[in-house]
C-alpha cells in the first residue's frame, strides 16, 4: 500500500473517530493480510488504526513530531517534567501550548510543578493555583518525577518521599480538578544491580551516563523496595485519584509483580514508556505468560514510548526515529512477526495480541484516563 493511500485512510479513520464517544471501542478497518493470525492486526494495519502514545516529551514547538504522529495514526500526550536535562519548565509549557493550539485533536499535554520551596509557607497554595491555571489551559494530567524520593530534600536535608504529608494536598487538588497523576517513582530494578547483571543495554547505557541516578553506586540512598513501598502508601492514601504508574510503575522486570500492583490498586494504570525491552526480555523466556498479562490487564495498560523531541533535534531525523520506534512496537505487540532487539541481544517474536486488546492498550484506555477533566469538587 502506498503512502498516499495510507494517509487518505488516516483521514477516514479520524472522521469516524470524531463521530463516536471516546469511551466506545473504535471500529477499525479490516485488512485481509495473508498469513496474519485471525483476530490480530498486521503491519499493514499500523498507520490506520487509531493510536495514542501516552508518554512523550515534545520539548520543541516545531510541528515535526505532531506531523509524524498524524502520519502514523497517533495522538500524543506530551508530559512536562521537572528534569534538569530538559529545557526549563517555562519552555516546555510554551511548547505544549503552541502544539496544542495547532492541533488539539492529536496533541494533548500534562503539566507539572517545581518542588522548589516545598515545605515553606505558600508552596502548596502556589502549586495548586498553578495546576488550576494549567487545567484551564487544557492540561489533562500532572507529572511527578523521580526527583521525589531520589533527589529533592526538605529543610532538614532529608529526602522528600512521595507519601510525604506535604504532597497530600497537591494530590487531593489534582483529583478535585479531575486530572490524572502520572508518577515516575524510582528507577528500573536494574538501577540497583551491577552493570553485568542488568537485563538490558539501554539501562546499562543510561546508568553509565548518569552515575548520579545509578543507585548501585549509592547504597546510602533509599533502596528499590523503599521507593516502591512509599509509592504504594501514596496510592493507597488516594484511592479516588486516577494514578498512572509511568514506566510500568518501575515494576517492569516482572509482569506478575505488575499484576499484583494492579490487583491491589483499582485506581491505578501503568504506561509502558521506555520499558518495551524489559517486557521483551520476559517474553522471549515465556511468551504466553507475557501475552496473558496483557490480555488479563487489557484495561489497565497504556501504550507509551518516552520519545523526546529536544530543542536541538533535527526534525527529519526525529521523524524517522519516531516512526521506527512506533513501527517496532506495533510489530511486537500487535503482530506475530519476529524482530531483532539489540538491547537484549535476542530475536523477539511478536505477541499477536487480539485486536480488541490492542485497541484498548493503544487508544481506548488513554482516552479514558486522560479525558478532559471534569472538576470533582
What are the residues binding Zn ion (CB under 5 A)? 306
Least separation in angstroms between residue 306's CB and Zn ion is 4
Least separation in angstroms between residue 65's CB and Zn ion is 14
Least separation in angstroms between residue 338's CB and Zn ion is 28
Select 110 or 167, whichever has its Cβ closest to Zn ion.
110
Strands 346-349 and 338-341: antiparallel
Select 127 or 182, whichever has its Cβ closest to Zn ion.
182
Select 13 or 77, whichever has its Cβ closest to Zn ion.
77
Select 58 or 167, whichever has its Cβ closest to Zn ion.
58
**The three three-digit cell numbers of residue 93, written as one number:** 509549557
Select 174 or 272, whichever has its Cβ closest to Zn ion.
272
Whether residue 306 contacts residue 56, with contact meaning beta carbons closer than 8 Å, is answered with yes
User: In the bound complex, which residue of the shown chain has the CB atom lying closest to Zn ion?
Assistant: 306
Select 245 or 350, whichever has its Cβ closest to Zn ion.
245
d(CA 12, CA 15): 5
Least separation in angstroms between residue 114's CB and Zn ion is 17
Least separation in angstroms between residue 2's CB and Zn ion is 34
Whether residue 332 contacts residue 339, with contact meaning beta carbons closer than 8 Å, is answered with yes
**The three three-digit cell numbers of residue 343, written as one number:** 538491547
Q: What is the DSSP letter of 363?
A: I
Select 187 or 306, whichever has its Cβ closest to Zn ion.
306
Least separation in angstroms between residue 339's CB and Zn ion is 24
Of the candidates 317, 188, 310, 248, the residue with the CA atom closest to the CA atom of residue 55: 248
> Which contacts (CB < 8 Å, 24+ apart) does range 217-223 have?
221/150, 221/159, 222/149, 222/150, 222/159, 222/161, 223/192
Select 54 or 290, whichever has its Cβ closest to Zn ion.
54
Least separation in angstroms between residue 309's CB and Zn ion is 12
Least separation in angstroms between residue 184's CB and Zn ion is 7
**The three three-digit cell numbers of residue 176, written as one number:** 478535585
> Which contacts (CB < 8 Å, 24+ apart) does range 39-43 have?
39/354, 39/355, 40/334, 40/335, 40/336, 40/352, 40/353, 40/354, 40/355, 40/358, 41/330, 41/334, 41/335, 41/355, 41/358, 42/334, 42/335, 43/327, 43/330, 43/331, 43/335, 43/337
Amino acid at each position: 500500500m502506498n503512502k498516499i493511500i495510507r494517509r487518505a485512510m488516516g483521514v477516514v479513520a479520524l472522521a469516524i473517530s470524531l463521530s463516536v464517544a471516546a469511551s466506545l471501542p473504535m471500529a477499525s478497518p479490516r485488512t485481509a493480510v495473508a498469513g496474519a493470525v485471525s483476530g490480530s492486526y498486521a503491519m499493514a494495519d499500523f498507520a490506520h488504526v487509531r493510536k495514542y502514545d501516552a508518554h512523550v516529551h515534545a520539548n520543541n514547538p516545531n510541528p515535526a513530531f505532531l506531523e509524524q504522529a498524524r502520519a502514523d495514526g497517533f495522538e500524543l500526550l506530551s508530559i512536562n517534567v521537572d528534569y534538569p536535562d530538559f529545557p526549563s519548565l517555562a519552555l516546555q509549557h510554551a511548547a505544549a501550548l503552541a502544539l496544542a493550539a495547532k492541533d488539539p485533536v492529536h496533541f494533548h499535554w500534562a503539566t507539572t510543578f517545581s518542588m522548589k520551596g516545598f515545605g515553606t509557607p505558600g508552596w502548596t497554595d502556589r502549586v495548586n493555583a498553578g495546576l488550576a491555571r494549567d487545567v484551564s489551559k487544557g492540561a489533562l494530567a500532572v507529572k511527578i518525577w523521580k526527583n521525589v524520593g531520589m533527589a529533592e530534600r526538605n529543610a532538614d536535608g532529608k529526602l522528600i518521599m512521595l507519601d510525604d504529608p506535604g504532597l497530600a494536598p497537591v494530590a487531593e487538588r489534582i483529583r478535585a480538578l479531575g486530572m490524572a497523576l502520572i508518577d515516575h517513582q524510582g528507577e528500573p530494578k536494574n538501577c540497583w544491580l551491577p552493570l553485568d547483571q542488568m537485563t538490558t543495554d539501554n539501562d546499562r547505557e543510561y546508568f553509565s551516563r548518569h552515575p548520579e541516578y545509578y543507585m548501585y553506586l549509592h547504597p546510602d540512598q533509599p533502596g528499590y523496595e523503599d521507593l516502591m513501598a512509599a509509592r504504594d502508601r501514596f496510592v493507597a492514601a488516594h484511592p479516588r485519584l486516577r494514578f498512572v504508574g509511568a514506566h510500568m510503575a518501575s515494576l517492569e522486570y516482572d509482569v506478575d509483580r505488575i499484576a499484583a500492583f494492579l490487583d491491589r490498586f483499582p485506581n491505578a494504570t501503568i504506561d509502558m514508556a521506555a520499558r518495551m525491552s524489559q517486557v521483551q526480555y520476559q517474553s522471549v523466556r515465556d511468551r504466553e505468560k507475557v501475552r496473558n498479562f496483557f490480555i488479563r490487564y487489557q484495561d489497565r495498560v497504556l501504550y507509551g514510548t518516552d520519545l523526546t523531541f529536544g530543542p536541538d533535534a533535527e526534525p527529519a531525523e526525529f521523524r524517522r526515529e519516531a516512526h521506527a520506534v512506533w513501527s517496532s512496537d506495533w510489530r511486537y505487540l500487535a503482530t506475530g512477526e519476529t524482530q531483532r532487539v539489540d538491547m537484549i541481544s535476542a530475536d523477539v517474536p511478536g505477541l499477536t495480541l487480539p485486536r480488541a486488546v490492542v485497541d484498548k492498550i493503544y487508544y481506548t484506555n488513554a482516552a479514558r484516563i486522560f479525558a478532559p477533566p471534569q472538576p470533582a469538587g
